Amino acid sequence: MQLLFDAHLDLSMNALEWNRDFRLSVAAIRKQEEGLHDLPDRGRGTVSFPAMRQGNMGLCVATLIARYVKPENPLPGWNSPEQAWAQTQGQLAWYQIMESQNELVQIKNTTELDSHLQAWETNPSETPLGYVLSLEGADSIVSVEHLEILHQKGLRAIGPAHYGPGTYAFGTDSSGSIGSKGKMLLKKIQELNLILDATHLCDQSFWETLEVYHGPIWASHSNCRHWVPNERQFEDQQIKALLQRGAVIGMAFDAWMMLPNWQRGITQPKESGLVIETIVNHIDHICQIAGNADHVMIGSDLDGGFGNEQCPSDLDTIADLQKLDPLLTKRGYSATDIEKIFSKNGITFLRKHLEN
């Protein structure tokens, strides 16, 4: 079974806001949520630590996420950056207690990365799940000093925006400039040698960010606009620009990002024909642009606020990502290429850009 590196999971959000104990099986979590209707994915989750282990997911990028929303912003979130910051600190505390129980281990540098991968290869059942800490959306960064604090606590990647207009950039479903605050943040991100996550940046903020920021950059969970014509996905010129910067792009398994014309809460996976193989279209599109398989990884986002009501019909839990192996083989990808997509591209990028 292939080693799987998932470049985007919202583990702590699920633990604190969804009240999920990821030490339980997916079936047990679904059972606990029977009769709950506060969220669309209640009783439909696909992620847990046992399921990650079953899928040989020895390494992931795990997020902190807390959106600050200004009074005119209709999106859900926190009413001040300070509240959002406090929420991320609670999420960080959850990661830390999971580490104390040997469920997780944080990866902060290349030495820890190599040590973890060796341990996982030797004895995966006794090795904690490895995670690299990322911040999805920078609205909780009250000041650059707060970013320094997070870096000291192990933060290694950051996306300036999430949904809507943010403090430092404009994200999905909005449009605008990074402005002076965004430029200031990018300067600090580069100074700290953090990985810049281009996911969720609106087109204008995307191009301005690439012009200003010259450090390591990837897109943890973004598909192709060629297949799903929505600004949340990357157009070909954006993909080419990222490739020129040596980026890797993670494939997301959120249905509306995989299949065009998906209507959340209305379209059904089975009736729509959405299957895991659909993502191969997105993978292949990037590989054709690149001329190789060196710039694609998995960034499933399978716990990103949706469950099996909004993912491929043949995916029950995150362990089913392993089904991608024979599907890629069927589409003509070599064993070497498949290993790159499953883990090597992302790990090679981390080895190049994490601290020694």
Residues 233-243 have pLDDT tens digits of: 999 999 999 99
- For the record, the structure tokens of 4 come out as 């799987």
**Model confidence at 349: pLDDT above 90:** yes
d(CA 228, CA 262): 9
The per-residue pLDDT for 71 is 84
| Share of residues in the chain with pLDDT > 90 (%) | 97
pLDDT score of 73: 81
Q: Read off the DSSP letter of residue 62.
A: E
Q: What is the pTM of this model?
A: 0.97
Residue 69 vs residue 324, higher pLDDT: 324
User: Which pLDDT score is estimated for 116?
Assistant: 98
Question: Using one digit for the tens of pLDDT, what is the confidence trace for 121-154?
Answer: 999 999 999 999 999 999 999 999 999 999 999 9
What's the confidence (pLDDT) of residue 74? 85
Overall average pLDDT of the 301-305 stretch:
97
pLDDT at residue 181 in the model:
96
Check residue 72 and give its pLDDT: 78
What is the predicted pLDDT for the residue at 355?
86
Does the pLDDT of residue 19 top 90, yes or no? yes
Q: What is the C-alpha to C-alpha distance for residues 338 and 174, in angstroms, rounded to an integer?
A: 35
pLDDT of 313: 98
Sorted by where each starts, the structural domains of the chain and their CATH numbers stand as: 5-353 (3.20.20.140)
Phi then psi for residue 322, to 5 deg, are -65, -20
